[in-house]
């Protein structure tokens, strides 16, 4: 990414307190035009507060923001900005289409063809005439994306967009964000999941307890990352641990629930697995439980023991299921 | 989210109470003079309507009937303000001789300035009377009301 | 321009609400039920202004209805929409949905406020027309005995009935503005609807127990009586003028405060 690329969003020293607690303290955020930027952090890290400030929904206590060079005023949303904060919400007694028509009117726009295209694009064309009250969480999420794109923004802000989407929905969403990014749209994607950010983002800002824990490209983050974690099952785990002693770059621990936890970079892991075979130890299963970036994310947000534990446990559980 | 926020409510309530208490002075504009100015003509007009109902369309209400004297409570009570203890005296043409008779209405004046007056049934008739066409109708003079201009 | 867009959509959303449809239906139909009840029984509500004449003239029906409803029903009917129109956005979590559009907070505030006011005026009009037609159809259009004991001919009586209800619009708009303020301040629909209604009742009570004219004059319930001055032969308009000033004061005060709260508010939930 060229360093001189103009900034779509530049926030400097933003701070926001709610009833004595600091939601955000001295946060900088730089989103390059044309990039897909991840905003990552555990729940309660300040992502939502930051997004509310960007949308002008809340008034910052300190700091400045510019959007494509123009200062952001609290109390109104810049016309170049589209998206949603937290779960998108609509009027339940109006249909999906009527909701979009209303938002379109509130934007002083009227482009029925564009509206229908968007409904088609998010897969809601069939159900657009139904009242939103009958929509599933995933359908509301799709409607939220359509509503965000309605005003043809230059910066699209999505807050946990894959919430409530089934795997097929998540795949469609990734395809859509990819297409939008390819068309030159700048995207700020907020998420608590590293894998989601890793899949679509060029750069990432990691928030932790209202402060920036990391800001930079995903590649740079990956370079700093510790070895990924793998789960290994062999015919003879004790022998496999003994074999590991010959590999300095590989650490092996016992899982309480059975199997081995292996930390190693890919090339070292390859060498270890070859040696296992050479020693006559059959490898029954080997899969990655935590990616390098996830490891990095956990490390950056580690101070928050409770959250880390929860996320960690969740990650392991998902790995075990998968 | 259903969050009930008390603080703005308390501020508004306090402001309203302040305005209410700050303006809690001034004199009532319900007076005996005001009441009798309204009462007399009201009575005279209703007398005509009553006479029409019972078949005397050519009845007239002379100047005397338009005059009332209204007082409140005993001699020590000032004749002003809302209350149930008002009374108004008006004149009633008692017979063909043209002689008049004084009759007294009990009057309840509300703070809004509106009053209800109840008269002696022996002279003005019962609550319902038989109209000239045979129907039973409300007697306009048994009980009637009016409103004073209290600004 | 933007305010007009918001107003149009708010009106559409209101028209889709069951609560609003029921209120509108009740405002027109209830007077007929009232007139039927009056016709069926011999007793009359004699302690109410015009109560004595409900069998004598159909024009007494809308007047008695006005006396009854202005005690507490009109503030409640007005706040049924006004007290919830802002709080509904909190309930649905849709503040962020509409506030991230080009329409400003100012135009959303005015669009919603105007929509609530329109609804209030419509409900008063429905009650007035319902009462007038119920009295006319079920009792008849005999002359009405005015507050000064004089007979008012039918044509004039109809005009005075409508004028009296027209006057009731003023304090009703005051209560509407109060509902809007509490809707913004409490962010809670039931609180926005009930608080002004309770304030209205307290004002009625205060007017009854306090003899002081100044207190009575600043109460928003007093302008409901402003028609006392003109449904009679010798008319006076002082209460109407002052009632207009007081109602306007409440409307302006409540709207100004509501506007400030809305402008300063952080949309930090939902």
Q: What is the pLDDT of residues A79-93, one digit of tens each?
A: 899 999 999 999 998
Band of residue C270 on the pLDDT scale cut at 50, 70, 90: low
Which range marks the domain in which residue C32 is found?
3-269
Name the nearest CA neighbour of A202 among A34, A69, A3, A81.
Answer: A34
Q: How many CB pairs under 8 A join A and C?
A: 90
Residue with the bigger pLDDT between A276 and B26: it is A276
Q: Please give the pLDDT value at position C86.
A: 97
Looking at the structure of chain A, the number of domains it has is: 2
Q: Across all residues in chain A, what is the average pLDDT?
A: 86
| C268 interaction partners in chain A (CB closer than 8 Å) | 18, 49, 52, 57-58
Residue from C95, C96, C104, C265 whose CB has the most chain A CBs within 10 Å, to mutate: C96
Q: Which helix (H) or strand (E) holds B31?
A: none
Nearest by CB to B144, from C149, C151, C215: name it: C149
Residue scoring higher pLDDT (C112 or A174): C112
A 78-97 residues with CB < 8 A to C: 79, 81-94
Residue C191 has a CB neighbour count (10 Å cut-off) of: 21
ipTM metric: 0.86
pLDDT for res A311: 41
pLDDT at residue A206, rounded to an integer: 92
Task: Please count the CA atoms within 13 angstroms of the CA of A120 that sit on its side-chain side.
Answer: 6
Give Rg (Cα) of chain B: 22
Q: For the purposes of burial, counting CB atoms within 10 Å of the CB of C207, is it exposed (0-12), middle (13-18) or buried (19 or more)? A: buried
CB contact under 8 A, C263 and A102: no
Q: Give the domain CATH number at A303.
A: 3.30.70.100
Identify the residue among B45, B46, B59 best suited for mutation to test binding to C, counting C beta carbons within 10 A and taking the highest: B45
pLDDT at position B88 is 94
- Contact A106/C103, CB-based, under 8 Å? yes
* Residue in the block written with tokens 């006396």: C67
Our count of domains for chain C comes to 1
- The residues that bridge with A254 in the sheet, in sequence order, are A260
Question: Which residue has 């370079």 as its token pair?
Answer: A223
DSSP secondary structure letter of residue A72 = P
What's this model's pTM, rounded to 2 decimal places?
0.84
A200–chain C Cβ distance below 8 A for any pair: no
In this complex, whether C and A touch, counting 3 or more CB pairs under 8 angstroms, is yes
A255 vs A38, residue with greater confidence: A38
pLDDT tens-digit map of A286-303: 888 777 778 778 878 775
| Nearest-CA distance A132 → chain C (Å) | 11
pLDDT score at C222: 92
Contact A89 C94 (CB under 8 A): yes
Do the domain assignments include residue A321? no
Residue A197 and residue C96: Cα distance in Å, rounded? 24
pLDDT on residue B21: 55
- Exposure of C7 in the CB half-sphere (CA atoms within 13 A): 14
Percentage of chain A with pLDDT > 90? 42
Whole-number mean pLDDT of chain C? 92
Question: In this predicted structure, which of A53-57, A169-173, A187-191, B33-37 has the lowest mean pLDDT?
Answer: A169-173
Nearest-CA distance B25 → chain C (Å): 6
Nearest CB partner across the interface for C270, out of A89, A106, A108: A89
What would the pLDDT profile of A87-141 be if each residue is shown by its tens digit?
999 999 899 999 999 999 999 988 999 999 999 999 899 999 999 999 998 899 9
Contacts of C95 in chain A (CB under 8 A): 57
> Which residues of chain C have a CB within 8 Å of the CB of B85?
none
Pair of tokens at residue A194: 């590293």
Q: Is C149 in contact with B116 (Cβ distance < 8 A)?
A: no
> How near does any CA of chain A get to the CA of C103, in Å?
5
The predicted pLDDT at position C113 comes to: 98
Distance CA C266, CA B117 (A): 58
**Cβ contacts of B116 on chain C, cutoff 8 Å:** 47
Tell me the residues of chain C between 151 and 180 that have a Cβ less than 8 Å away from chain B.
Answer: 151
Q: Above pLDDT 90, what percent of chain C? A: 77
Do A33 and A157 fall within a single domain?
yes
What's the CA gap between C98 and C105, in Å, rounded?
9
Contact check, Cβ <8 Å, C263/A77: no
In eight-state DSSP terms, residue A6 is: P
C207 with B112: Cβ contact below 8 A: yes
How far does the CA of residue A91 sit from the closest CA of chain C (Å)? 7
Reported as a single tens digit per residue, the pLDDT across B63-102 is 778 889 999 988 888 888 888 999 999 988 765 566 678 8
CA-nearest residue of chain A to C9?
Answer: A102
Residue A93 with chain C: CB contacts under 8 Å = 13, 16-17
Residue where one domain finishes, among candidates A223, A240, A256:
A223
Q: Is the pLDDT of residue A319 over 60?
A: no
Residue span of the structural domain in which A292 resides: 225-315
Query: How far does C83 lie from chain A, in Å, by closest CA?
Result: 18
Contacts of C17 in chain A (CB under 8 A): 93
Residues 6+ apart with CB under 8 A from B97: none
Q: Are C15 and C23 in contact (CB under 8 A)?
A: no
Closest-CA residue in chain B for C92? B1
Q: Are C251 and C117 in contact (CB under 8 A)?
A: no
pLDDT score at C183: 97
Are residues A311 and A272 both part of a single domain?
Answer: yes
Is the pLDDT at A320 greater than 60, yes or no?
no
What's the distance, CA B100 to chain centroid?
Answer: 22
Q: Chain C closest CA to B8's CA: distance in Å?
A: 6
Claim to verify: residue A59 and residue A185 sit in the same structural domain: yes
Contact B111 C211 (CB under 8 A): yes
Q: Which two tokens stand for residue A235?
A: 């015919």
For testing the chain B interface, which of C83, C94, C144, C213 should be mutated: the one with the most B CBs within 10 Å? C213
- Collapsing DSSP states into helix, strand and coil, what is residue A158? strand
Per-residue burial over C30-66, b = 16 or more CB atoms within 10 Å of its CB, e = otherwise:
bbbebbeebeeeeebbbebbbbbbbbbbbbbbbbbbb
Q: What is the mean pLDDT of the segment spanning A49-77?
A: 91
| Contact of chains A and B by CB distance (3 or more pairs under 8 angstroms) | no
Q: What is the pLDDT of residues A133-170, one digit of tens each?
A: 999 988 999 999 999 999 999 999 999 998 888 888 88
Q: Note the pLDDT of residue A152.
A: 92
pLDDT tens, residue by residue, C132-157: 999 999 999 899 999 998 999 999 99
* Cβ contact B117:B88 at 8 Å: yes
Does the pLDDT of residue B19 top 80, yes or no? no
Mean pLDDT within C237-241: 92
Q: Which of C186, C211, C234 sits opposite B82 (nearest CB)?
A: C211
CB contact under 8 A, B151 and C239: yes
């Amino acid at each position: 990414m060229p360093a001189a690329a103009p900034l779509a969003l530049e926030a400097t020293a933003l701070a926001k307190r709610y009833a004595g607690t600091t939601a955000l303290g001295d946060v900088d955020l730089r989103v390059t035009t044309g990039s897909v930027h991840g905003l990552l952090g555990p729940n309660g890290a300040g992502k939502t507060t930051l997004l509310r400030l960007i949308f002008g929904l809340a008034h910052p206590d300190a700091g400045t923001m510019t959007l494509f060079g123009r200062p952001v005023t609290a109390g109104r949303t810049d016309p170049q900005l589209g998206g949603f904060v937290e779960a998108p919400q609509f009027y339940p007694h109006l249909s999906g289409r009527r909701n979009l028509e209303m938002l379109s009117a509130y934007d002083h726009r009227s482009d029925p063809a564009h509206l229908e295209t968007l409904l088609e694009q998010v897969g809601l064309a069939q159900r657009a005439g139904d009242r939103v009250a009958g929509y599933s969480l995933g359908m509301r999420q799709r409607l939220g994306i359509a509503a965000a794109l309605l005003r043809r923004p230059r910066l699209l802000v999505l807050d946990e967009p894959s919430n409530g989407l089934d795997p097929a929905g998540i795949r469609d969403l990734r395809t859509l964000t990819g297409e939008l990014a390819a068309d030159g749209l700048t995207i700020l994607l907020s998420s608590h999941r590293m894998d989601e950010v890793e899949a679509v983002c060029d750069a990432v800002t990691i928030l932790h307890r209202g402060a920036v824990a990391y800001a930079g490209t995903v590649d740079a983050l990956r370079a700093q990352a510790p070895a990924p974690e793998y789960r290994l099952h062999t015919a003879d785990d004790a022998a496999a641990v003994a074999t590991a002693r010959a590999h300095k770059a590989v650490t092996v621990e016992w899982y309480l629930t059975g199997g081995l936890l292996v930390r190693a970079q890919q090339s070292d892991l390859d060498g270890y697995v070859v040696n296992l075979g050479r020693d006559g130890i059959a490898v029954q299963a080997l899969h990655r439980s935590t990616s390098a970036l996830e490891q990095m994310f956990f490390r950056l947000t580690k101070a928050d023991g409770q959250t880390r534990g929860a996320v960690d446990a969740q990650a392991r559980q998902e790995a075990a299921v998968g | 989210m259903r969050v009930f926020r008390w603080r703005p409510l308390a501020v508004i309530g306090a402001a309203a109470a302040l305005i209410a208490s700050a303006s809690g002075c001034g004199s009532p504009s319900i007076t005996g003079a005001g009441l009798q100015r309204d009462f007399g003509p009201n009575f005279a007009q209703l007398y005509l309507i009553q006479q029409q109902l019972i078949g005397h369309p050519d009845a007239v209400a002379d100047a005397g009937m338009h005059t009332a004297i209204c007082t409140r409570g005993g001699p020590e009570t000032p004749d002003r303000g809302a209350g149930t203890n008002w009374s108004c005296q008006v004149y009633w043409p008692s017979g063909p001789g043209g002689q008049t008779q004084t009759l007294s209405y009990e009057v309840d004046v509300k703070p809004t300035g509106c009053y209800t007056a109840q008269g002696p049934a022996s002279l003005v008739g019962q609550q319902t009377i038989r109209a000239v066409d045979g129907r039973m109708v409300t007697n306009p003079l048994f009980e009637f009301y009016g409103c004073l201009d209290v600004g | 321009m933007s305010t007009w867009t918001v107003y149009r959509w708010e009106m559409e959303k209101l028209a889709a609400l069951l609560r609003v449809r029921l209120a509108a239906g009740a405002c027109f139909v209830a007077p007929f039920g009232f007139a039927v009840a009056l016709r069926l029984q011999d007793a009359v509500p004699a302690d109410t202004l015009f109560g004595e004449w409900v069998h004598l003239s159909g024009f007494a029906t809308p007047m008695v209805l006005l006396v009854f409803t202005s005690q507490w029903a009109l503030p409640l009917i007005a706040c049924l929409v006004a007290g919830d129109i802002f709080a509904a956005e909190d309930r649905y979590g849709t503040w962020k949905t509409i506030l991230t559009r080009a329409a400003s907070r100012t135009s959303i505030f005015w669009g919603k406020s105007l929509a609530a006011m329109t609804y209030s005026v419509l409900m008063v009009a429905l009650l007035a027309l319902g009462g007038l037609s119920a009295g006319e159809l079920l009792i008849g259009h005999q002359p009405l005995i005015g507050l000064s004991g004089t007979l008012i001919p039918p044509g004039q009586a109809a005009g005075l009935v409508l004028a009296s209800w027209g006057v009731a619009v003023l304090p009703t708009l005051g209560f509407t503005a109060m509902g809007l303020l509490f809707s913004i301040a409490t962010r809670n629909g039931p609180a926005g609807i009930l608080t002004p209604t309770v304030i209205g009742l307290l004002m009625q009570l205060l007017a009854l127990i306090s003899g002081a004219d100044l207190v009575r004059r600043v109460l928003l319930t007093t302008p409901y009586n402003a028609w006392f001055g003109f449904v009679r032969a010798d008319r006076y308009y002082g209460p109407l003028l002052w009632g207009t000033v007081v109602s306007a004061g409440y409307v302006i005060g409540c709207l100004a405060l509501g506007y400030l709260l809305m402008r300063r508010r952080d949309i930090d939930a939902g």
